[in-house]
Amino acid sequence: MENQQHEKYEYARRRIKQKKRLYFHFILFLIGSLFFLLVDKIYDIQPFEGWYLWAVTLWFFFFILHFIKVYITDRFMNKNWEREQIDRLVALQDKKIEQLQKKIESENSNTTE
| pLDDT digits 0-9 by tens, 11-23 | 889 889 999 999 9
CA-to-CA distance for 94 and 91, rounded, in angstroms?
A: 5
pLDDT band at 112 (very low <50, low <70, confident <90, very high): low
Q: What pLDDT does residue 82 have?
A: 81
C-alpha 33 chain-centroid distance = 26
The Cβ of residue 30 has, within 10 Å, a number of other Cβ atoms equal to 11
Is the pLDDT assigned to residue 59 strictly greater than 80?
yes
Is the pLDDT assigned to residue 1 strictly greater than 70?
no
CB 55 within 8 A of CB 36: yes
Q: What pLDDT does residue 48 have?
A: 78
Return the amino acid letter for 76: F
